[in-house]
C-alpha cells in the first residue's frame, strides 16, 4: 500500500478503476522525481529548455491555444441547495454533477500515468494549514504543484495523521472546451476538473482548494480564506506590521506584494517583506488578533507588464528555476512578454515566427511559476506556523473617477461594506471591454465557494468582544485627471499610502471624517511633489457621485435577497443619509468635475 490511510488508498483505487491509467505514481516531492518529470516533459515536447546561460533551469510550456485561462462559465459550485451556492456561483446539484463529470473521466487516463500528489496548503507545521491530494494525468501540473504547494512525503505524513484532506481529481482529457468542467463539492471537500491543463483550472491547490473549498470550510470553522496578498512593512524602528490586501485582476496585486519603497524611504530604513501575493488564510488568535498564513509556496504570476519599473523583485526571481507558460521567446531563447523591454521577440506564444499582425507575442494571460523563496523580498515569516498578525486589511479597485486614493472605514461593519461594495473597471487584457465597472466583492467574485450573503454575514461575525480586528482601508491607485493621465505615481510610491495607513494603525495621525469614511488630512499624506489640484481630486469626496454609487451598491445587494445581511443594508442607508445631509462643496465639485 502506498499510503497508511485506507480512505486515501480506496479513493485512488476508485479513481484508477474509473480513469484506467497505464500506471500510478505516488509523488514524494524529491529532487530525483523532479528531474525525472522534467526529462519526460522535455522528451515529449511539453517543456522547452530556455537559454541555460541567462535562465538556468527555466522552461517554457505552451498550452493548447484553446486552453489559456480560467473558465468561469464552466466552473460550478455543487451544493445540495442552490441557494447555498448563491447568485455569485454557477450551480449544479451534486446528484447531477457527479455522473456528468464522471462520464468524462471514464477511461480518460488510458495510456497515461496517473500521478497522486499529496500537498499541504501552508507551512507543514502550521495549525492554520490544510492538506489535499490531487490526482492528475498531467506531469506539467505535478511540476507546478511542486512549486506552488508543499508537495510530497511530508504532506502525505500530515494527511495520514489528520485523516482529513481535500480530494481533487483532474484530467486534461482531450483539452476540448466543449468537454470541460471545473466542479467543486464543498460539502464533500472535493473537486473534479476535466478538460483543461491550465493554471487555476488544473493546479487544484490554488483557486479550487485554497479559495472555493477553503472559504466554505472556513465559514464552518470560524476563519477566513481570502483572495489577498500579505506584505510586511518594516519601519525605521525595526517594527514590522502586516497588511492583507484584496484587489480584482489588473490592479497590480503582485507588484504591491513585492513593492520596493522609493529611495527616500529606503534611506530612512523602511523595508517591505513579501509573505504572499494572492491568497491569505486568517484565523483569530487567542490574543484576539487575526493571524494569517499564505497557503501557497510559490507564485503563478501574470507575465505581461512585469518589468524593471513595475516589479524589479519579480524580474530578479525569474532568472532561474522557473516555468514559463505561453510567453514569447527572443532569438537566443530567453522568455519575453509585452512590457518587459524594447527587444523584439523571435517566436510568439504559439511557437510561430513573431508577426505583430498575429497579436501580442506573449499571451495576455501568460504566466511564470516560481518558488516564493526566490523573491528578494521573501521573508522567513512566511514559514512561521503561527502566521503573522494582520494590522490592516486593504480593499482596492481600478476606478478612473469618484473613488479617492485612500480612505479608512469607520469600524468593522463599515469595513465589511467597503469590501462587499468593491468594484473595478475592466481592462482590455481582462475582457476586451474597457472601462466597464464590475462589482467584485472582496475580489472573491470568481472564488467564493458559497452564497455571498452568507459570506458577508460570516465576515460580520468576526466583530466580537475581545477581538483586536485590523483597521480596514480602501485604495484606488488608478484615479485619472481630465487629461486622462493617472493622478498618482503608483508602483513603489504606493508606499506613501501604506505609510499613512500604518500611522493610522499606530494612532499617530488624525483623519478627516466624511460620509464615505476617514480620509488623510492635507499634509498628512506624503504627496508634496504631486500637484495640489491632483491631491484635491485624489482626496476629494464627490457627494453627488457617491449618492449614485450608493444607489448602485444597494441595487447590487438586492440580488442577494433574504441572505443579504441587514447590517450592511443599514450601513448603506447610514452613508446615504450622511451624503444627503452634506452639500456638494467646492472641493467635492472639483472632485466630480473630472469624473
The residues of the shown chain that bind ligand O2Y, judged by CB under 6 A, are 69-70, 198-201, 249, 278, 300, 365
Query: What is the rounded distance in angstroms from the CA atom of residue 537 to the CA atom of residue 401?
Result: 9
Taking CB within 5 to 8 Å according to partner kind, which of Mn ion, ligand O2Y, none is near residue 592?
Answer: none
Residue with cell 457621485: 545
Closest CA to 189 of 160, 159, 206, 165: 165
Which CB sits closer to Mn ion, 278 or 499?
278
Which residue's Cβ lies closest to ligand O2Y? 199
Among residues 246 and 534, whose Cβ is nearest to ligand O2Y? 246
Shortest Cβ 429–ligand O2Y spacing (Å): 11
Q: Return the beta strands (E) in 62-129 as ranges.
A: 75-77, 90-91, 113-121
CB 300 to Mn ion: min, Å: 8
* Element holding 575 (H helix, E strand): helix 566-580
Other Cβ atoms within 10 Å of 266 Cβ, number: 14
What single-letter DSSP state applies at residue 469? P
Stretch that binds Mn ion, among 68-76, 216-224, 277-285, 503-511 (CB under 5 A): 277-285
CA–CA separation, 315 vs 117, rounded Å? 29
Spatial separation of the C-alpha atoms in residues 282 and 579, rounded to whole Å = 34
Least distance (Å) from Mn ion to the CB of residue 249? 7
* 429 or 437: CB nearest ligand O2Y: 429
582 Cβ partners below 8 Å, 6+ apart?
Answer: 514, 515, 543
Of 88 and 249, CB closest to ligand O2Y: 249
CB 225 within 8 A of CB 211: yes
| From ligand O2Y, Mn ion, none, interface partner of 70 (C-beta below 5 to 8 A by class) | ligand O2Y
- Classify residue 276 as left (phi > 0), alpha (psi -120 to 50) or beta: beta
Stretch binding Mn ion (CB under 5 A), from 77-85, 238-246, 272-280, 355-363: 272-280
457 binds, among Mn ion, ligand O2Y, none (CB under 5 to 8 A by kind): none
Which of ligand O2Y, Mn ion, none interacts with 46 (beta carbon under 5 to 8 A by kind)? none
Q: Choose the one of Mn ion, ligand O2Y, none that binds residue 452, judging by a C-beta under 5 to 8 angstroms depending on kind.
A: none
- Is residue 278 near Mn ion by the rule CB under 5 A? yes
What does the alpha-carbon distance between residue 400 and residue 200 come to, in Å, rounded to a whole number?
A: 29
* Least distance CB 69 / ligand O2Y (angstroms): 4
Pick between residue 254 and residue 413 the one whose CB is nearest to ligand O2Y: 254
- Find the DSSP H helices in 106-171: 139-148, 153-162
| Grid cell listed for 592 | 466630480
Task: Find the part of the chain contacting Mn ion (CB under 5 A) among 10-18, 90-98, 120-128, 278-286.
Answer: 278-286
**Binding at 200: pick from ligand O2Y, Mn ion, none (beta carbon under 5-8 Å per type):** ligand O2Y
Q: Which does 360 bind (CB under 5 to 8 A by kind): ligand O2Y, Mn ion, none?
A: none
How far is the C-alpha of 361 from the C-alpha of 566, rounded, in Å? Answer: 49
Part of the chain binding Mn ion (CB under 5 A), chosen from 184-192, 275-283, 338-346, 450-458: 275-283
387: left (phi over 0), alpha (psi -120 to 50) or beta: left
* Per-residue cell: 312: 524589479
**Binds 517, which of Mn ion, ligand O2Y, none (CB < 5 to 8 A, cut-off by type)?**
none
3-state secondary structure of 406: strand
Binding segment for Mn ion (CB under 5 A), chosen from 240-248, 271-279, 339-347, 585-593, is 271-279
Q: Whole-angstrom Cα distance, residue 365 to residue 362?
A: 8
Q: Which positions are catalytic?
A: 251
Q: Give Cα separations from 584 to 173, 247, 587 (angstroms).
A: 59, 30, 8
106: how many CB neighbours lie within 10 A of its CB? Answer: 12
Q: Which residue is nearest to Mn ion (CB)?
A: 278
Query: Least distance from C-beta 141 to ligand O2Y, angstroms?
Result: 12
Q: Kindly state the smallest distance separating residue 153's Cβ from ligand O2Y, in Å.
A: 27
- Give whichever of 120 and 370 is closer to ligand O2Y, judged by the CB atom: 370
For ligand O2Y, the closer of residues 443 and 527 by Cβ is 443
Among residues 199 and 252, whose Cβ is nearest to ligand O2Y? 199
Rounded to a whole number of angstroms, the minimum distance from the CB of residue 36 to ligand O2Y is 26
- State the nearest-atom distance from the C-beta of 178 to Mn ion, in Å: 26
Q: Residue 571 interacts with Mn ion (CB under 5 A)?
A: no
Closer CB to ligand O2Y, 249 or 514, in the complex: 249
What letter does residue 413 receive in the DSSP assignment?
A: H
Q: Which stretch binds Mn ion (CB under 5 A): 58-66, 105-113, 273-281, 539-547?
A: 273-281
User: Shortest approach of ligand O2Y to residue 587 CB, angstroms?
Assistant: 36
Site size with Mn ion, rule: CB under 5 A: 1
493 binds Mn ion (CB under 5 A): no
Nearest residue (CB) to ligand O2Y, 15 versus 423 = 423
69 binds, among ligand O2Y, Mn ion, none (CB under 5 to 8 A by kind): ligand O2Y
CA distance 314 to 323: 14
CA distances from 151 to 132, 258, 292 (A): 10, 24, 21
Backbone angles phi, psi at 274, to 5 degrees: -95, 120
Q: Which partner, ligand O2Y, Mn ion, none, binds residue 554 by CB below 5 to 8 Å per kind?
A: none
- For residue 511, the cross-strand partners are 520
Q: Which three cell numbers stand for residue 565?
A: 445581511
- Helical residues (DSSP H) of 421-530, grouped into ranges: 428-431, 452-460, 495-506
CB of 227 to ligand O2Y, least distance (A): 6
Site of interaction with Mn ion (CB under 5 A): 278
Amino acid at each position: 500500500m502506498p499510503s497508511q490511510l485506507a480512505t486515501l488508498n480506496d479513493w485512488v483505487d476508485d479513481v484508477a478503476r474509473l480513469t484506467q491509467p497505464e500506471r500510478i505514481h505516488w509523488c514524494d516531492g524529491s529532487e530525483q522525481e523532479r528531474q525525472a518529470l522534467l526529462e519526460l516533459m522535455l522528451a515529449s515536447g511539453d517543456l522547452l529548455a530556455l537559454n541555460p546561460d541567462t535562465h538556468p533551469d527555466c522552461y517554457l510550456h505552451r498550452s493548447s491555444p484553446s486552453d489559456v485561462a480560467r473558465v468561469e462559465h464552466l466552473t460550478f459550485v455543487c451544493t445540495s441547495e442552490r441557494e447555498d451556492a448563491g447568485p455569485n456561483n454557477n450551480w449544479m446539484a451534486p446528484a447531477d454533477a457527479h455522473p456528468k463529470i464522471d462520464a468524462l473521466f471514464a477511461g480518460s487516463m488510458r495510456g497515461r500515468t496517473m500521478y497522486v500528489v499529496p500537498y499541504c496548503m501552508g507551512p507543514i507545521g502550521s495549525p492554520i494549514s490544510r492538506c489535499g491530494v490531487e490526482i492528475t494525468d498531467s506531469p506539467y501540473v505535478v511540476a507546478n504543484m511542486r512549486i506552488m504547494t508543499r508537495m510530497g512525503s511530508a504532506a502525505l505524513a500530515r494527511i495520514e495523521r489528520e485523516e482529513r484532506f481535500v480530494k481533487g481529481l483532474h484530467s486534461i482529457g482531450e483539452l476540448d472546451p466543449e468537454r470541460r468542467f471545473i466542479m467543486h463539492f464543498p460539502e464533500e471537500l472535493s473537486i473534479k476538473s476535466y478538460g483543461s491543463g491550465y493554471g487555476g483550472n488544473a493546479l487544484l491547490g490554488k483557486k479550487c482548494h485554497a479559495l472555493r473549498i477553503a472559504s466554505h470550510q472556513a465559514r464552518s470553522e470560524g476563519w477566513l480564506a481570502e483572495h489577498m496578498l500579505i506584505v510586511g512593512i518594516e519601519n525605521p524602528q525595526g517594527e514590522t506590521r502586516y497588511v492583507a490586501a484584496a484587489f480584482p485582476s489588473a490592479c497590480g496585486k503582485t507588484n504591491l506584494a513585492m513593492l520596493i519603497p522609493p529611495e527616500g524611504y529606503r534611506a530612512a530604513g523602511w523595508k517591505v517583506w513579501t509573505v504572499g501575493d494572492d491568497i491569505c488564510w486568517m484565523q483569530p488568535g487567542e490574543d484576539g488578533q487575526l493571524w494569517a498564513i499564505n497557503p501557497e509556496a510559490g507564485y503563478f504570476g501574470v507575465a505581461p507588464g512585469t518589468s524593471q519599473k513595475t516589479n524589479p523583485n519579480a524580474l530578479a526571481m525569474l532568472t532561474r528555476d522557473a516555468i514559463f507558460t505561453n510567453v514569447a521567446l527572443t532569438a537566443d531563447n530567453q522568455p519575453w512578454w509585452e512590457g518587459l523591454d524594447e527587444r523584439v521577440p523571435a517566436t510568439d506564444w504559439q511557437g510561430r515566427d513573431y508577426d505583430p499582425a498575429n497579436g501580442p507575442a506573449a499571451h495576455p494571460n501568460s504566466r511564470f511559476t516560481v518558488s516564493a523563496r526566490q523573491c528578494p523580498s521573501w521573508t522567513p515569516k512566511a514559514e512561521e506556523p503561527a502566521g503573522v498578525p494582520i494590522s490592516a486589511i486593504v480593499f482596492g479597485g481600478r476606478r478612473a473617477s469618484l473613488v479617492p486614493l485612500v480612505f479608512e472605514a469607520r469600524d468593522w461593519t463599515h469595513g465589511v461594506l467597503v469590501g462587499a461594495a468593491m468594484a473595478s473597471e475592466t481592462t482590455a487584457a481582462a475582457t476586451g471591454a474597457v472601462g466597464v465597472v464590475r462589482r467584485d466583492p472582496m475580489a472573491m467574485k470568481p472564488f467564493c465557494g458559497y452564497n455571498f450573503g452568507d459570506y458577508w454575514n460570516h465576515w460580520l461575525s468576526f466583530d466580537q468582544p475581545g477581538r483586536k480586528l485590523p483597521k480596514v482601508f480602501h485604495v484606488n491607485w488608478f484615479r485619472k485627471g481630465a487629461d486622462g493621465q493617472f493622478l498618482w505615481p503608483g508602483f513603489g510610491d504606493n508606499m506613501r499610502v501604506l505609510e499613512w495607513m500604518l500611522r493610522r494603525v499606530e494612532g499617530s495621525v488624525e483623519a478627516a471624517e466624511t460620509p464615505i469614511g476617514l480620509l488623510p488630512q492635507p499634509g498628512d499624506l506624503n504627496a508634496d511633489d504631486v500637484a495640489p489640484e491632483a491631491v484635491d481630486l485624489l482626496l476629494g469626496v464627490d457627494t453627488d457621485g457617491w449618492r449614485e454609487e450608493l444607489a448602485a451598491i444597494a441595487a447590487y445587494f438586492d440580488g442577494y435577497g433574504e441572505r443579504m445581511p441587514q447590517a450592511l443594508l443599514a450601513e448603506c442607508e447610514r452613508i446615504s443619509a450622511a451624503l444627503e445631509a452634506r452639500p456638494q462643496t467646492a472641493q467635492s465639485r472639483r472632485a466630480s468635475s473630472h469624473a
